[in-house]
Amino acid sequence: MNFKVNEQGFYGDFGGAFIPEMLYHNVNELKENYLQIIESDDFQTEFKDLLKEYVGRPTPLYFAKRLSEKYNTNIFLKREDLNHTGAHKINNTIGQILLAKRMNKKRIIAETGAGQHGVATATVCALMNLECIIYMGEVDIKRQAPNVARMKMLGAEVRAATSGSKTLKDATNEAIRDWIANPVDTYYLIGSVVGPHPYPDMVARFQSIISEEMKSQLIEKTGRNYPDKVIACVGGGSNAAGAFYHYLDNDKVELIAVEADGLGVKTDKTAATTQVGSEGIIHGSKTLLMQNSEGQITEPHSISAGLDYPGVGPLHAHLFKSGRGSFIGATDKEALTAAYQLTKLEGIIPALESSHALAALNKIELKQTENIVINLSGRGDKDMETYIGEMSNL
Amino acid sequence: MNRIDKTFKDNKNILNVYLTAGYPNLNDTVEIVQELAKNGVDMVEIGMPFSDPLADGPTIQNSSQIAIKNGITLAIIFNQIQEIRKTVNIPIILMGYYNQILQFGSDAFFEKSKAVGVDGFIIPDLSLDIYEKEHQQKVEELELDMIFLITPQTSDQRIKLIDSKSSGFLYVVSSFAITGSKSSIHQSQIDYFKRINNLKLNNPKLIGFGISDKKTFDTACIHAEGAIIGSAFIKALQQSKNIKQTVKEFINSVKSGESSVTSTDNS
């Protein structure tokens, strides 16, 4: 089976570019140029150098001894939380900002949910001295105040998305509208493996550094360049795409994607797209999404703003439909419990998003001889208010 | 000859008015279209409200959200059009987003549209290649029109390609903008209209986005066969106490320049 995009930008049945004519020129310009630019030596040299010297890569592949003892298996944490700005998001923003510069764009726009992508975008814009506008749902602005302050301190303008559910989906709509209104000088720096082709493929390529490093780190630690299982959380799915990327064609590796069940998949407060969604079009891509019988996109719910999205990237829709990926879910409560557990056992406070991946340990069969990699996509600083508030409930 | 072709053959300075189905109240759609037709509007574009309308500005987004809350569905819209067709003979174009059509079932959607008296479609996020591959045959078989957009960034070569796939008319997006965001026409836009006219296209053209009053409508009519008014009309409906009167005053103001006394609209 093939897990790379075809010429039209499809992974199996999913992907493509379903965009208004107003975006055709921009998206086509990107499609025609992205591979040539990012595969050039000049780009790769600058990209790899910034990842090393500025982001702090490679991130450790940490053997979590106490967590492994508890589950009687071998658990490695890919420490994306140790990246500059606190999450995997910066791998992608470094890549796209270098691309935007080479395409002579002067103004950068982006959407953000939890604020991690917004911070990572504002950071690279400060680094490259480019104007930066971040769209963020009004609801998310309230629940992620520290990240809003960080973006402003970094010089970005944060614009509230006040339409629809006022969360990530609506911030994405507003960013796309901005791009329609400012097509010449503006670059839309998408934060996940979503949107029209070539974004899903491009973002996956930039995030693939995660599994690229895992390969050499695993050889050193286990004598084999692949684990038995890779576990990652999926909202749009960029950290999972990066963690799975170099193992997509290796059938010996089980790929486990963990979605946010919210209050539970049987309730209407969930973000578990593959469980409650169906095929359709969202943000320019054919994929799985949460919608009603009229094709109206419904409002997701997750305690984690980064997973609060009613779709998944087309690669993940393809992994789900083809059976290559195992999709499971973790509720708000299960994620919180997993976060407190990791903090106590390993002294690492994970982001709420990553806590969903950790919660999977209670839901899957684990063997003593297996090597498991959990992609710890971000750190928990931004979620402290939630963690403190929930502490008394556990 | 279908209704759209006949309208372009018989009429000049075509005025196409957009309304959102189910707005301001669920059952206002029929009366609004009847009144638009009575007041001399040449064709109407009925918006099928969508939760995530990427190409629309705040005014139309807002009207769509209200219509969805009012309970609008495609089934209700088809019933409303059936009712409209009892008294109204001007062309009716459905505007909406591709996901709605996919969920309804695309062939069923086109067939139902034909059965109730729809003449054409504007589906901004349906790309030319997907249309060609999956829907063109059906749409042409039913003798319906698929109307595509062109923008200031569309190359001459692509405009010709779009012209060859379109029927009915071409929707000329006047500027880099989402709907309802500009209020006058600049020289650069006029140069763009002239560039399009020099291409000697097969389809007639209607200019949309930023057409809000007599002045912008008249300018558009110099450079194309007519124009489409959307957000400005939705704004008028927002404040309407009496649909008959609002429609009459609005259309009068566009056609004769008499501004409505009751309107406080400052756009």
State residue A393's pLDDT score. Answer: 75
**Residue carrying structure tokens 């103004």:** A107
Cα of B4 to nearest chain A Cα, Å: 22
Q: Write out chain A residues lying below 8 Å of B177, CB-based.
A: 180-181
Give the residue from B196, B192, B188 showing the smallest Cα distance to B166: B196
Q: Which domains does chain B have, with CATH numbers?
A: 3-256 (3.20.20.70)
Report the distance separating Cα B111 and Cα B133, nearest Å.
18
Distance from CA of B38 to the nearest CA of A (A): 32
In this structure, which amino acid lies at residue B15? L
Interchain contact A7–B (C-beta under 8 A): no
Task: Tell me how many degrees the CA angle A52-A58-A62 measures, rounded to the nearest 5.
Answer: 155
What per-residue confidence (pLDDT) applies to B267?
36
Q: What residues have CB less than 8 Å from A365, skipping those under 6 apart? A: none
Q: Mean pLDDT across chain B, nearest whole number?
A: 93
pLDDT at B92: 98
Other CB atoms closer than 10 Å to residue A29's CB: what's the count?
Answer: 13
Q: Across the interface, do B127 and A184 touch by the CB < 8 Å criterion?
A: no
Catalytic residue among B28, B35, B42, B45: B45
Judged against a pLDDT cut of 70, whether residue B260 lies above it is answered with no
Contact in structure between A354 and A375 (CB atoms under 8 Å): yes
Token pair 């609004």 is found at: B32
Chain A residue numbers touching B100 (CB-CB < 8 A): 294-296
The type of residue at A18 is F
Tokens representing A61?
Answer: 């592949």
H-helix segments, chain A: 21-38, 41-50, 65-71, 89-102, 116-128, 138-143, 145-153, 168-181, 199-207, 209-222, 238-244, 273-276, 314-322, 332-346, 352-359, 384-391
**Structure tokens of B189?**
């836009």
Q: Let me know: does A111 contact A172? Beta carbons within 8 Å.
A: yes
CA distance B70 to B156: 43
Q: CA nearest B73: which of B134, B125, B33, B29?
A: B29
Residue spans per domain, chain A: 17-50+89-203, 56-87+208-391
Backbone angles phi, psi at B8, to 5 degrees: -70, -30
| Contact call for B103 and A293, based on CB within 8 A | yes
> Which residue of A281, A285, A287 to mutate against B (max B Cβ within 10 Å)?
A281
Q: What are the residue numbers of the active site of A?
A: 89, 111, 377
Q: What is the DSSP string of A307-326?
A: G--SB--HHHHHHHHHTSEE
Secondary structure letter of residue B134 according to DSSP: I
Q: Do A24 and B148 touch (CB under 8 A)?
A: no
Q: Counting Cβ atoms within 10 Å, is residue B165 exposed (0-12), middle (13-18) or buried (19+)?
A: middle
Task: Give the pLDDT confidence score for residue B262 in this predicted structure.
Answer: 43
Report the residue of chain B nearest A8, measured CA to CA: B129
Test A296 with B68 for CB contact under 8 angstroms.
yes
Contacts of A39 (CB under 8 A, 6+ apart): none
Pick the CATH number of A17-50+89-203 from 3.40.50.150, 3.40.190.10, 1.10.287.610, 3.40.50.1100: 3.40.50.1100
B20 Cα to chain A: minimum distance (Å): 15
Q: Alpha-carbon distance A339 to A337, whole Å?
A: 5
Query: With the C-alpha atoms ordered A79, A82, A84, A85, is the resulting torsion angle positive or negative?
Result: positive
Nearest to A20 among B54, B62, B155 (CB): B54
φ and ψ at B215, to 5 degrees?
Answer: -60, -50
Angle at CA of residue A277, ends B113 and A322, nearest 5°: 105
* Among A24, A23, A1, A4, CA closest to A15: A4
* Same topology between domain A17-50+89-203 and domain A56-87+208-391: yes
- pLDDT recorded at residue B265: 39
Confidence of residue B181 (pLDDT cuts 50, 70, 90): low
Largest CA distance in chain A: 56
- Which residues in chain A touch residue B102, judged by CB atoms under 8 angstroms apart? 279-281, 295
Residue B46 token pair: 């009925």
Contact B176 A295 (CB under 8 A): no
Q: Spell out which residues of chain A touch residue B129, defining contact as CB-CB under 8 Å.
A: 8
Q: State the greatest distance between any 2 C-alpha atoms of chain B, in Å, as a whole number.
A: 51
Strand order in the sheet with A186-188: A157-161, A131-137, A107-112, A186-188
Q: Looking at the complex, report in whole angstroms how far the Cα of residue A123 sits from the nearest Cα belonging to chain B.
A: 27
Q: Determine the pLDDT at residue B180.
A: 60
Q: What is the pLDDT of residue A164?
A: 79
Query: Which residues in chain A (291-350) have CB-CB distances under 8 A to chain B?
Result: 291, 293-298
pLDDT at position A321 = 98
Beta carbon pairs, A and B, within 8 Å: 109
Q: Do B102 and A295 touch (CB under 8 A)?
A: yes
**Residue B122: what pLDDT?**
98
pLDDT category of residue B183 using cuts at 50, 70 and 90: low
Residues with Cβ < 8 Å from A18, sequence gap 6 or more?
A196, A281, A284, A285, A286, B98, B125, B126, B127, B130
Residue numbers of chain A with a pLDDT score lower than 50? none
Give the integer Cα–Cα distance in Å for A91 and A205: 10
Question: At B247, is the secondary structure helix, strand, or coil?
Answer: helix
Our answer to whether residue B129 is catalytic in this structure is no
Percentage of chain B with pLDDT > 90?
Answer: 85
Q: How far apart are CA A19 and CA A177, in angstroms?
A: 11
Residue located via tokens 């690669």: A315
Whole-prediction pTM? 0.95
Q: Which of A232, A216, A261 is nearest to A372 (CA)?
A: A232
**Which top CATH class is A56-87+208-391?**
alpha beta
Tens digits of per-residue pLDDT, A94-110? 999 999 999 999 999 99
d(CA A336, CA A6): 39
Cα A249 from chain centre: 21
Q: What is the spatial distance between Cα A148 and Cα A164, in angstroms, rounded to a whole number?
A: 20
pLDDT class for B149, splitting at 50, 70, 90? very high
Segment B50-92, tens digit of pLDDT: 999 998 988 999 999 999 999 999 999 999 999 999 999 999 9
B261: pLDDT strictly greater than 50 = no
Residue A173 to residue B52, Cβ atoms within 8 A: yes
For residue A124, give how far its alpha carbon lies from the nearest alpha carbon of chain B (Å).
Answer: 27
